[in-house]
Amino acid sequence: MQADYVIVGAGSAGCAMAYRLAEAGKQVLVIEHGGSDRGPFIQMPAALSYPMNMKMYDWGLKTEPEPHLGGRTLVTPRGKVIGGSSSINGMIYVRGHARDFDHWAESGAQGWSYADVLPYFKRMEHWHDGGHGGDADWRGKDGPLHITRGPRKNPLTRAFVEAGAQAGYPVTGDYNGEQQEGFGPFDATIYKGYRWSAASAYMRPALKRPNCTLTRAFARRIVIENGRAVGVEVSRGKKIEVIKANVEVIVAASSLNSPKLLMLSGIGPADHLKEHGIDVVADRPGVGQNLQDHLELYIQQAATKPVTLFAHWNLRGKAKIGLEWLLWKTGLGSSNQFESAGFIRSDKGVDYPDIQFHFLPIAVSYDGKVAPEGHGFQAHVGPMRSVSRGQVTLKSNDPNTDPKIEFNYMSDPSDWEDFRKCIRLTREIFGQAAFDEFRGHEIQPGEAAQSDADLDDFIRDHAESAYHPCGTCKMGAASDPMAVVDPQARVIGVEGLRVADSSIFPRITNGNLNGPSIMVGEKVADHILQRNPLPSENAQPWINPNWKTAQR
């Protein structure tokens, strides 16, 4: 078992790299612990709450008790399946804001500014505007990743955007184009009624080539000889073997498993490795540090008219949706139901959006439990750039033990302030005339919760992860002691080894992370192939001209 390039993880970035390296004629072998993504629970967009709660498809990782969330342990689903988390996520496609990438470049990830990454977003996208308008010039037309928009037939979905406008916010035809700020339609990785994961976009086409293979195995550690990565030790059943890499090993195992794999291989904070009896190959104190995520709350409102998806939330309704999807790939089963978005700034003096809304025309939790009220609607809302940082460390030197995950959510006072603002701004939007004919009582937090203390109690008990972990193998200048990889994603201090997935994000981007994770795979593939990067594009994003003096 050997190849020029061995990629650990067939997730969002891993699939993209496999495709680009195989296309260039390189011999590629991808190691994936999970199995096939062929089941209807993955392929049917409306079934999204199932795969992330299924042991078959999810690593089943959990946080340590979170001290600022009342000691709650939160689940952190990561895809253990071909396509990785792109096969179990909510299918929402957000590039991130231009300023996010400029910040990356300013913090030491040279060559990763918005001008540098925009051509890669365009290369990967095949965008279908579906007649909703948008910025065709800013979008890719013939990439492998199909991106579509939901039909937006539900009156609540349209009322949400209208309410945003009534509250004084801009409306945007394409938050992934020139103007992110405002309310408008969501983009989704859905195509012809199917989830269009990284497996569909990249892995399956790559495997049609004779020079790309996928092997099902569990990566235990990277084999390093004389300071160079030469292979990956894997287990298959009872057997442990080494898969050799003639040129490079590329780790794309997620922001929770990639740092774990590096540490098990002797790359990480020296004292922590010694504590677990691991020989130090490269003392990189940043491995596992800088862990970030998006937290969100579900603000729920009862509906006075039976226009919500609750009408279908019974055995007969679900069977009908499932049948229509199975036969024709149409109907409610073909949408993730997240069809309207909002990106706003929390305050004057904030130059680009730092709050995101996902609107849903049903009051439901991520595990599929509906509110006892029945008909309702909700907005998922949360701050985009929390300053809290956590860490991923080892519990033991046994590769079969899960990593120790501590997000340290809400550890900074500014997070509480931001979240209270999120709740109050959402209430204001739900209070607009556009919702008058639909609005019942507030389900949660509930009208009684008004004071800061009441809201803080609600936040502590109800904040949930949006499942956007990143940052644990930070990309930066080779001289930065906390950087793990350089701007070409090469692990600093080890030859022939790269990390390329959301762990290399210096700072979390605005919105959902699947888009930027795939972009990382696309761009790093060019670095691996020693190609000149795609020519940078000087497209200037829209920034609210009154941002210094006004919140909207």
Q: What is the pLDDT of residue 326?
A: 95
- For 45, 78, 124, 290, 411, the CA distances from 142, given in Å and listed in that order, are 22, 29, 8, 35, 43
Between CA 270 and CA 281 the distance in angstroms is 9
Between CA 245 and CA 228 the distance in angstroms is 11
Q: Given the DSSP bridges, would you call strands 464-465 and 439-444 parallel, antiparallel or unpaired?
A: unpaired
How many CA atoms within 13 Å lie on the side-chain side of 344? Answer: 28
Task: Work out the number of other CB atoms within 10 angstroms of the CB of residue 329.
Answer: 16
Residue 158: partners with Cβ closer than 8 Å, 6 or more residues away = 152, 340
For residue 130, pLDDT beyond 90: no
Unique residue bearing structure tokens 């862990």: 291
What are the tens digits of pLDDT across the range 233-279? 999 989 999 999 999 999 999 999 999 999 999 999 999 999 999 99
Between CA 160 and CA 307 the distance in angstroms is 14
Say yes or no: domain 1-61+76-119+196-286+472-532 is CATH 3.50.50.60.
yes
Question: Do the first three CATH levels of 1-61+76-119+196-286+472-532 and 152-185+295-383+411-462 match, i.e. the same topology?
Answer: no
For residue 384, pLDDT beyond 80: yes
Q: What is the pLDDT of residue 369?
A: 83
Q: What is the mean pLDDT of residues 454-482?
A: 97
Q: What is the pLDDT of residue 367?
A: 74
Q: What is the mean pLDDT of residues 386-410?
A: 98
CATH number of 152-185+295-383+411-462: 3.30.410.40
What residues are designated binding site for FAD?
81
Between CA 115 and CA 121 the distance in angstroms is 11
What residues are designated binding site?
81
For residue 484, pLDDT beyond 80: yes
Q: What is the pLDDT of residue 371?
A: 87
Residues of the chain with pLDDT > 90, as a percent, come to 96
Q: What is the pLDDT of residue 14?
A: 98
Q: What is the mean pLDDT of the chain?
A: 97
Full-model pTM: 0.98
Determine whether 468 is an active site residue: yes
Q: What is the pLDDT of residue 372?
A: 85
DSSP annotation of 491 reads B
Between CA 198 and CA 206 the distance in angstroms is 11
One of 146, 294, 375, 468 is an active-site residue; which one? 468
Alpha helices in 265-374 (DSSP H): 270-275, 315-328
Between CA 380 and CA 398 the distance in angstroms is 38
Find the length of the chain: 552
For residue 403, pLDDT beyond 80: yes
**For the chain, domain boundaries:** 1-61+76-119+196-286+472-532, 152-185+295-383+411-462
| 259 prior amide bond cis, ω within 30 | no
Q: What is the mean pLDDT of residues 302-329?
A: 95
